[in-house]
Structure 1
Amino acid sequence: MVTATRQPSDDLVVPAAVDVVDGRDVRLAQPRINLSESVQRIPGVVARDRQNYAQDQQISIRGFGARATFGVRGIRMYTDGIPATMPDGQGQVSHFLLDAADRIEVLRGPFSALYGNASGGVISLFTADAPVDPFLRGEYVTGSDGLRRGSLSYHAPWGADGEGSFLVDLVDLDTDGYRDHSAASRRQGQMVLKGALGTGGRYTVLANSIDLEADDPQGLTREQLSGDRRAASDGAWTFDTRKTVRQDQVGLNLEQALGGGHGLAFTAYTGNRETTQMLSIPVFVQQRPLHGGGAIDLDRDYFGGDLRWRWEGDWLDRPFSLTAGYSHEVSDERRLGFENFIGDRVGVIGALRRDEDNQVTGRDVYVQADWAPAERWRVNVGARHSRIEFESRDRFVTAANPDDSGSLEYSRTSPVIGVLYRATPTLSLYANAGAGFETPTFAELAYRSDGLSGLNSNLDPARSRNAEVGLRGRNERFEYSAALFHSRTEDEIVVAANEGGRSTYANAEESRRQGVELALAGELAPDWHFATAYTYLDAEYADDFALCGAPPCAVDDLIIQGGRNIPGLAKHFAWGQLRWSPLADTDVMLEGRFSDRVWVNDDNTESAPAYASFDLAAERRFRWAGLEWRGFARINNLFDRDVIGSVIVNEGNGRYYEPAPGRNWMIGLSAGYSFR
């Protein structure tokens, strides 16, 4: 992980769009269930809660990542420097434990290329340090649709001098779900140990675990949406579509100063993720001998390391720093596919139809230089060379199913450059440009639109050229930022078709994203504060391209005309919050968001309508009976608007729409004890 792009002590010297969500904002009158609660306040970021724990959230930055049908795509994610993204670019946020968050940092634009195989940006969660005295807190949240969330946290100083931190957080979540067949349960645990080395260095050890079981209601057609918005699809009921995930991981960060301005940093991690999923693929479709079945069983082991050297000194009598490093990541996966039926029974594990070992290996080298050639100027240049190797060994070979073993390799060097001018002590102007690189994931390579088995070797990596200009400033009452960005992508990876929970992918020709990001926050009066964020995003395909409209296709038969909008994205998105604090321990907040309509397919023949919704929340903190109490209440979607929370791009049966709840409520109460 490159660290020179971010200096938290003074964000006015960073020549890129970087924003921070403070831990207080993460916790204030929030249940801390999903990342979407926190990052929507950052311009350029759209996080959609799908009301479907089987598919995780949809998170996009400047339009990158919106096509993901499950998990997070096109964005690099970290917890305390430990990657939550595999070397092929597929990531998960379900294990992000927000109870321990000190801050969430989001990097957008060209400089995200220095973090590896991603185009949109970087989201990093950093855990808090322990308080001076050991602190134990328990919390319970309840709400609409059977929401029940209990948590227990113990944060304490660590080590003989008490400068280290020991953090333990446990969370138990259950929900009946807003929609039919959308119940879920999620168990999470995390332990963090931070401290000082005898040699003057620092270390962080992080271990976390998640156990998730969730039903999948799938999307609805427009006709179904006009009826019962809470309904699940017919296929969801017939095949009992569902998903289970179990993940355990551990990571280590070490930082050591060597003297003379030199320093080393080392990151290592390992983990295992087991996933089983029942899809709603019809039985007759699976009768083709090369079909991989309608039930998925994945067992993935992953590990990696990153070694960085950094030197800080002077060059031409001006401050200069140089960072160089090497990153090595491996994901080993055993993928099994089964029929989702036995005789006349469906929704059960049937005969084996797919058995293969898959491995992704990422090897990256990177370098970054930061120089202040004059008092008000700063120049930052860097490059990262990535080599991603895919290897698949087919273990299911029959007379009707040939050996589909194979390998693919992608490599790319991504340079970036940024310049910043400190116009005043409180205002900075910056510009940067760079190249981006995004390979297909193994999930995107797993299925072919021609109906044959084996890797989708026709799928090429996406290559982008990105640029932005912006400003960032603050004064005694306000903080503000603005950015203009432009990106052109060759071989954009798009969803060719999505049927029964299985997606096939293809390349578009050239696509374009450009837009404006604005943010303003501050104090209206001593007891009144506000924060706003607005994004304008113009995203379209620049050239005609062909897709397979309804797999299997021998020849692509659907022509997408240039000028069509890229689906899954809103042209306008805005968020705002007005907070009244009549007392030091009381906050009342009104939050609002607006989303323009969202096209659901490449042809732009259907769209989810625009909407505006508002939330009302209040929190009170007090001491009683020797305990520190915190209580909050929220009413979401205050005016009970009909909202499409997210869409499934190019869903083959027209089930594009995932409705969000109408008016709903939640309340929470926590008690904490400080061992003084």
Structure 2
Amino acid sequence: KLNFYPTKKLYITQIAAHTDYFQQNPEGLNLEQVAENPRQANPDAIPFNEYQKTNRNKFGMHARYLLNKNHDFEAMGYYYSWRYKETSNKCAEYSDITNPGFTFQYNLHFATGKVNHSFGIGSDLKWQKISMYKLQSAADTLRVDSKDETNIETDSLLANQIIDQQSMGLYAIYNMEFGKFSLIGNIRYDDIENRLTDKMMGGDTAGTSKDFYHTSYRIGVSYNFYDELTLFVNWSQGFMPPSTEELASNPVGYSGFNTHLVPATSNSVEVGARGFFGEKIYYEITGFRMNTENDFFRFKQSGRGNQEVFYGNAGNSKRLGIETFISLKILKKLSLQASYTFSDFKYISSSVDPIYTDTSYVLTKPPEAGQYLPNSPKHQLYAEVVYTINKNFKVSIASEYQSKWAIYTDPDAYYNKLDPAVFQNWQQGFTLFHARVGYQWKIWKIKGECSIYVRNFTNAKYMAFTEPDPDGNSYHPGPGREVFGSVKIRFD
């Protein structure tokens, strides 16, 4: 990350990043395996080598130009490119992906009497191209456990396709401040076009398209009574179209789009308060209610491999919650930060496209009204105590807690109507402890920080997350004790 200031009016930030990521055997374990050895491979992987391999480059730049005190411009551009490979016991998928994008925004600031106004209009343009093909996997009966990327693939071509996506967003933002009162509002329009060209077919049957468009709104007000208390209320809408990965995971063929998917939408209201007491205490508490329509859920099909996952719309949900945060300076060198989240997320409707109740199409039933959303624990708590030894050294101890959560969306598995040796809907939560030591230094105009972070230093055994797998291979055990080293250098 580099920051440039060519003039007093121009600010530029440039970012470059590279990621080389390998995740072997990403599928979950079953209950019997978890009890035997949580480090073993998923049973469906043997004798295959299932993994995900990502090699990604990112380049981005953000610039802001201050024309004068009333006018300024912001622009952001980026370009991502990466190669991705995913193998399963059914096929090996190869993808080359490019993803450029650009955003431009104009801001106007002015005052009328005692009222300050800020108005912004902007647009973002994004493109994505995915060249993908799939080869059939073959079993390797002589394979032994290793971390290599060897996978036997036949010359049977299952898919060969190109996905093109382009999206345009137009938005306007308005902010008003009048004394202790403030108001913010914005409107946004999104238009997303997806095209898939099947290179194994010709004529009109070679192309599939799926387009989405939506207008969403947000408005919020706040009033600062005094430093210790500011009240705020926000109402907003959400729009989440299916991703290219979700569209391209077609349950009726190895190529083409899942044409039954529709966007998920939401309406949300939040009410809260925040404030600070001198330099000792800062707090924030927010309550929210979100109603969603056409939530996504995952399902599988027989004959398509155990790692391939497909997506559908699961009806509607109501999500109630409270989020809190407090920062407390106990002593000059001792501070505490803590956050707590309460979540009550339930499906309220199981009215779905009839295709998702067709057992020849899905192996997993859509959820019923009254079920909790999967992977949504009611209680989450994180707290950290930081002690500053001197101007160079800091140490901290942290703890995180997560209560139990539901695993399955299928109502038969959710209500324990299936074999309890394979399906148990509720996963117990966990408590972890972490520690960090940091050292800050300065040599001439060069500043830096070195740190060592130990996560789960008590080496507790816990379940990091679960997935609603129709085979019961739902469990992903968390790692034991982990040690991370970090070095940051800053040139002023």
Alpha-carbon distance in structure 2 between the residues aligned to 1:550 and 1:303: 39
Query: Does the alignment pair 1:612 with 2:416?
Result: no
1:349 pairs with one of 153, 159, 162: 153
In the alignment, what sits opposite 2:284?
481
Once the two structures are TM-superposed, the CA of residue 614 in structure 1 deviates from its matched residue by 1.6
| 1:379 counterpart = 2:183 | yes
For the residues of structure 2 that align with 1:586 and 1:367, how far apart are their CA atoms? 45
Task: Give the number of equivalent residue pairs.
Answer: 465
**2:14 corresponds to 1:205:** yes
The residue matched to 1:565 in structure 2 has which SS? coil
- Change in CA separation of 1:528 and 1:296 when aligned onto 2, cut-off 3 Å: same
SS of equivalent to 1:231? coil
**8 Å CA contact retained: 1:450, 1:553:** no
Residues 116-155 of structure 1 aligned to structure 2 (within 5 Å):
none
Gap change, CA 1:315 and 1:216, over 3 Å in 2: farther
**What residue number does 1:666 align with?**
483
Deviation at 1:254, TM superposition (A): 2.1
1:496-511 matched pairs, under 5 angstroms: 496-497=299-300, 500-511=306-317
Say if 1:274 and 1:632 are closer, same or farther in 2 by CA, change over 3 A: closer
Greater CA drift, 570-579 or 493-502: 493-502
What letter corresponds to residue 166 of structure 2 in structure 1? Answer: T
Q: Which moved more, 1:545-554 or 1:327-336?
A: 545-554
Among 164, 167, 173, the residue aligned to 1:368? 173
| 2:241 pairs with 1:420 | no
Query: Distance in 1 between the 2:255 and 2:491 partners?
Result: 61
Residue 446 of structure 1: aligned partner? 248
Report the counterpart of residue 148 of structure 1 in structure 2: none
1:653 and 2:462 aligned: no
What letter matches 2:131 in structure 1?
R
Tell me the distance in 2 between the aligned counterparts of 1:573 and 1:430: 23
Deviation at 1:424, TM superposition (A): 0.7
- Say which SS state the counterpart of residue 236 (structure 1) adopts: coil
Cα shift at 1:634: 4.8
Contact 1:404 / 1:455 at 8 angstroms: preserved in 2? no
SS of the residue 1:223 aligns to = helix
Q: What are the equivalent positions in structure 2 for 1:426-441 lying under 5 Å apart? A: 426-441=228-243
CA contact (8 A) 2:47 2:139 kept: no
Match of 2:125 among 328, 348, 358: 328
Letter in 2 for 1:666: V
Cα separation, partners in 2 of 1:342 and 1:402, compared to 1, 3 Å: farther
| 1:579 is aligned to 2:381 | no
| Secondary structure of 2:377 counterpart | coil
Structure 1 counterpart SS, 2:349: coil
Mapped to 1, the partners of 2:403 and 2:119 lie a distance apart of: 43
What is the alpha-carbon distance in structure 2 between the residues aligned to residue 549 and residue 262 of structure 1? Answer: 52
TM-score w.r.t. structure 1 length? 0.64
Structure with greater Cα Rg: 2
Equivalent position of 2:318 in the other structure = 512
The question of whether the paired residues in 2 share the 8 Å contact of 1:276 and 1:298 is answered with: yes
Match for residue 147 of structure 2? none
* In structure 1, distance between residues paired with 2:39 and 2:221: 50
Indicate the SS of the match to 2:330: strand
C-alpha contact (below 8 Å) 2:158/2:254 kept by paired residues: no
Partner in structure 2 of residue 468 of structure 1? 270
Please give the per-residue CA displacement for 1:395-428, whole angstroms capped at 9, x wherever unaligned: 0128xx9935211111111110010101113532
CA distance in 1, matches of 2:379, 2:127: 38
Q: In 2, distance between residues paired with 1:665 and 1:462?
A: 37
Distance 2:309 2:24 in 1: 19
Deviation at 1:252, TM superposition (A): 2.3
Aligned-pair distance for 1:638? 3.9
Shift of 1:237: 4.0
1:531-570 pair list within 5 angstroms: 531-545=337-351, 553-554=360-361, 558=365, 560-570=367-377
The answer (yes or no) to whether the contact 2:103–2:122 under 8 Å persists in 1 is yes
Distance 1:544 1:551, change over 3 A: closer
State the Cα distance separating 1:375 from its structure 2 match: 0.6
SS of 2:220's equivalent in the other structure is strand
Task: Note the 1:75-94 alignment, pairs <5 A.
Answer: none
CA shift at 1:280, angstroms?
2.6
Deviation at 1:440, TM superposition (A): 0.3
- Name which of 308, 314, 333 aligns with 1:527: 333
Q: Cα distance, 1:306 vs. partner?
A: 1.1
Relative contact order (C-alpha < 8 Å, sep 6+): which is higher?
A: 1
Distance 1:233 1:243 in 2: 14
Q: Kindly tell me: are residues 330 and 559 of structure 1, through their superposed partners in 2, closer, same or farther at Cα, counting changes over 3 Å?
A: closer
Aligned partners of 1:386, 1:630: CA distance in 2, in Å? 42
Structure 1 residue 247 and structure 2 residue 53: aligned? Answer: no
Take 1:545 and 1:348, find their aligned partners in 2: how far apart are those partners? 43
State the secondary structure of the residue aligned to 1:448. Answer: coil
Matched, 1:495 2:301: no
Secondary structure at the aligned position of 2:385 is classed as: strand
8 Å contact 1:217–1:232 — kept in the other structure? no
Letter in 2 for 1:441: S
Contact 1:548-1:556 within 8 A present in 2 as well: no
Residue 216 (structure 1) aligns with? 25
Confirm or deny that 1:340 pairs with 2:149. no
Structure 1 range deviating more: 504-513 or 538-547 = 538-547
Q: What SS does structure 1 have at the residue aligned with 2:44?
A: helix
Q: 1:555 to 1:276 in 2, by over 3 A?
A: closer
Kindly, what percent of the aligned residue pairs are identical? 19
Structure 2 partner of 1:279: 88
Q: 1:259 to 1:620 in 2, by over 3 A?
A: closer
- Residue identity matched to 1:275: Y
RMSD: 3.1
Compared with structure 1, are the counterparts of its residues 276 and 510 closer, same or farther at alpha carbon in structure 2 (3 Å cutoff)? Answer: same
Q: 1:233, CA displacement in angstroms?
A: 1.0
- Which residue identity lines up with residue 544 of structure 1 in the other structure? S
Question: CA 1:392 to 1:622, structure 2 compared with 1: closer, same or farther past 3 Å?
Answer: closer
Please give the alpha-carbon distance, in whole angstroms, between the structure 1 residues aligned to 2:11 and 2:441: 35
1:259 alignment partner in structure 2 = 68
* 1:301/1:333 contact within 8 Å kept: yes
Aligned partner of 2:455 in structure 1 is 636
Q: Any gaps of 5 or more consecutive residues in structure 2?
A: 144-150, 417-424
Cα distance in structure 1, aligned partners of 2:326 and 2:237: 29
Indicate the residue corresponding to 1:36 in structure 2: none
TM-score by length of 2: 0.86
- Residue 370 (structure 1) shift: 0.5
Correspondence for 1:45: none
- Shift in Å at residue 199 of structure 1? 7.8
Q: CA deviation at 1:263?
A: 1.5
1:194, 1:203 within 8 Å by CA — same for their partners in 2? Answer: yes
Q: Is the 8 A contact 1:393 1:405 kept in 2?
A: yes
1:464, distance to aligned residue in structure 2 (A): 0.5
In structure 2, relative to structure 1, the CA distance for the partners of 1:392 and 1:575 (3 Å cut) is same
Is the Cα contact below 8 Å between 1:629 and 1:669 reproduced in 2? no
Instruction: Return 5+ residue gaps in structure 1 as ranges.
Output: 1-191, 282-293
* 1:226 shift after superposition: 0.9
Contact 1:245/1:273, CA 8 A, preserved across alignment: yes
